[in-house]
C-alpha cells in the first residue's frame, strides 16, 4: 500500500494546488480529507479538466469538482475482495479507509496481481504440545493436523506467500522433525524457511530472543494453529503508517450471562437486565512488531506476548489494536478442529 501523505488535500485547496500534487505524484490522484483525515473524495486530472471546461480557473476552490463517491475498500478487506472491486469497476487503484472512514493508504491493483516478495520476516510459533487435541496430537504436532486436506501450517504459509511475505522463521519444539521433513527449506511452497529449535518452552515472545538475525524492519509473529483471511499487507501498513512499536490483532468476543443481572446502589435495585450480552476484544494471536521491542525481551527464559505488551504499556510505548473482521478461527479444541474442517472449503 502506497504512502498517501504527499497526495492529501483539504476541501478549501485550490485547483492549482491539486494540479501540482497530481503532477508531482506517481499515482495521478489526490485524496481530499477533512481535519480528522476522513476521506471526503478524490481528484484526478480528468476531474480538474472537466472543472476548467465548466469555467473554473486555477485559483478556484476544488470544493465543487471533488468526486465525492469514490470506490473505496476497508482496511479489513482481503486481497481477493479488493481485487474483485477493482476489476468490476475497471480501477487501477483504490483508497483504503479504516472503520471510521479515515484514509490509511491507497492500493495499486497491479501490485495485487503481481505481488512482489517483501523483506519483512514472518515468525510462526509452532512448538506447542496441543494437549487439548489429544489423541490426534500424540503422533502429530498440532500445526500439522490436516484441515481441508492440507496441514493448518501449510495454509498459513501459503496465505503469507500470497501477499509476498516469503521470509519465514518457524519456532519448533514438539515433534519438530515432522514439520521440518514436510516443509524442508520452503522452496516447494514458494518461500524461504529457517527453523529455530526451542530446547525449552520459551513462550510466544521469549522465542524471539533465539532469532539468529534480528529483523531491521517490522515483522509478523503468529501462532501456528490459526486459520484466518486477514489482509496481512493492510495489517503491516496499519502498523507502519502509525509508527507503532507493536500491533496486536484483536477479535470481538461475545459472552451472554445466563441470568438476569441486577444493578444496585446500597440496598436499592436500580435496574435489571435479563441475560445481557457482554462484548470484549480478545487477543487473536497475530502481531506486528518493530525491531526496537527486542530490548524488552529477556534471553533464555519463558516470556509470553501479553507480558511484552504489558511492559510496553508501562513504558508508554505506542501499541495498537487491529480489529479482525475477516474469518478467524483458533483451533485449540476438538470442536474447533471439527468446525475448521466443515468451513474450510467455504472460506479458503
- 348 residues of the chain, pLDDT tens digit each: 566 788 888 988 998 888 888 877 666 788 999 988 899 999 887 788 778 778 888 888 888 889 888 888 888 888 778 888 887 877 778 888 888 888 888 887 766 665 567 889 999 998 877 778 788 778 888 898 988 888 999 999 999 998 889 999 999 888 888 999 999 999 999 899 999 988 888 888 888 988 988 899 999 999 999 999 888 887 888 888 788 999 999 888 888 888 999 989 888 898 999 998 888 888 999 999 999 999 999 988 889 999 999 999 999 999 988 888 778 988 888 888 888 888 887 777
Contact partners, residue 193, CB within 8 Å, separation at least 6: 157, 168, 169, 170, 183, 184, 185, 186
Q: How far apart are CA 52 and CA 50, in angstroms?
A: 5
**Is 5-113 a domain of CATH 3.20.20.80?**
no
Q: Report how far residue 15's alpha carbon sits from residue 49's, in angstroms, rounded to the nearest whole number.
A: 10
Q: What is the pLDDT of residue 113?
A: 62
**Diameter of the chain by CA atoms?**
77
Rg (CA), the chain: 24
Give the strands of the sheet with 73-74, arranged side by side: 73-74, 93-97, 103-108
User: Parallel, antiparallel, or unpaired for β 165-172 and 150-151?
Assistant: unpaired
* pLDDT of amino acid 22: 81
Q: Is 304 exposed, middle or buried (0-12, 13-18, 19+ CB in 10 A)?
A: middle
| pLDDT at site 116 | 64
Q: Find, among 198, 197, 168, the residue nearest to 183 by Cα.
A: 168
Residues of the chain with CATH 3.10.580.10: 5-113
For the chain, give every residue range classified as CATH 3.90.550.10: 118-347
Residue 2: how many CA atoms within 13 Å on its side-chain side? 23
C-alpha cell at 285: 494471536
For the domain covering 118-347, report its CATH number: 3.90.550.10
Where residue 179 falls (left for φ over 0; alpha for ψ -120 to 50; beta otherwise) is alpha
**Whole-angstrom distance, CA of residue 41 vs CA of residue 11:** 9
At 27 the three-state DSSP class reads coil
165-172/226-228 β-pairing? unpaired
In whole angstroms, give the CA distance from residue 258 to residue 274: 8
Instruction: Classify 37 as helix, strand or coil.
Output: coil
Per-residue pLDDT, 305: 93
**pLDDT reported for residue 91:** 78
Q: Give the pLDDT of residue 112.
A: 61
Give the per-residue pLDDT at 152.
92
Amino acid at each position: 500500500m502506497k504512502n498517501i501523505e504527499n497526495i492529501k488535500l483539504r476541501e478549501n485547496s485550490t485547483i492549482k494546488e491539486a494540479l501540482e500534487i497530481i503532477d508531482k505524484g506517481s499515482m495521478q490522484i489526490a485524496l481530499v480529507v477533512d481535519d480528522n483525515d476522513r476521506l471526503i473524495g478524490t481528484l484526478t486530472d480528468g476531474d480538474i479538466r472537466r472543472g476548467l471546461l465548466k469555467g473554473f480557473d486555477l485559483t478556484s476552490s476544488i470544493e465543487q469538482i471533488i468526486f465525492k463517491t469514490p470506490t473505496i475498500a476497508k482496511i479489513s478487506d482481503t486481497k481477493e475482495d479488493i481485487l474483485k472491486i477493482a476489476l468490476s469497476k475497471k480501477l487501477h487503484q483504490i483508497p483504503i479507509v479504516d472503520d471510521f472512514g479515515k484514509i490509511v493508504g491507497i492500493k495499486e491493483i497491479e501490485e495485487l496481481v503481481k505481488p512482489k516478495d517483501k523483506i519483512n520476516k514472518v515468525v510462526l510459533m509452532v512448538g506447542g504440545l496441543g494437549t487439548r487435541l489429544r489423541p490426534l496430537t500424540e503422533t502429530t504436532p498440532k500445526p500439522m493436523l490436516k484441515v481441508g486436506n492440507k496441514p493448518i501450517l501449510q495454509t498459513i504459509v501459503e496465505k503469507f506467500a500470497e501477499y509476498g511475505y516469503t521470509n519465514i522463521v518457524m519456532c519448533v519444539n514438539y515433534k519438530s522433525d515432522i514439520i521440518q521433513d514436510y516443509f524442508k527449506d520452503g522452496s516447494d511452497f514458494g518461500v524461504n524457511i529457517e527453523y529455530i529449535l526451542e530446547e525449552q518452552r520459551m513462550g510466544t515472545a521469549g522465542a524471539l530472543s533465539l532469532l539468529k538475525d534480528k529483523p531491521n524492519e517490522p515483522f509478523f509473529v503468529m501462532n501456528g494453529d490459526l486459520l484466518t483471511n486477514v489482509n496481512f499487507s493492510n495489517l503491516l501498513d496499519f502498523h507502519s503508517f502509525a509508527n507503532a512499536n507493536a500491533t496486536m490483532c484483536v477479535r470481538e468476543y461475545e459472552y451472554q450471562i445466563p441470568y438476569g443481572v441486577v444493578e444496585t446502589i446500597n440496598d436499592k435495585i436500580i435496574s435489571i437486565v435479563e441475560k445481557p450480552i457482554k462484548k470484549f476484544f480478545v487477543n487473536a494471536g497475530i502481531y506486528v512488531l518493530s525491531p526496537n521491542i527486542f530490548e524488552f525481551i529477556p534471553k533464555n527464559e519463558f516470556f509470553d506476548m501479553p507480558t511484552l505488551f504489558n511492559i510496553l504499556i508501562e513504558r508508554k510505548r505506542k501499541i495498537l489494536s487491529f480489529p479482525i473482521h475477516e474469518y478467524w478461527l483458533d483451533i485449540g479444541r476438538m470442536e474447533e478442529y471439527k468446525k475448521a474442517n466443515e468451513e474450510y472449503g467455504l472460506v479458503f
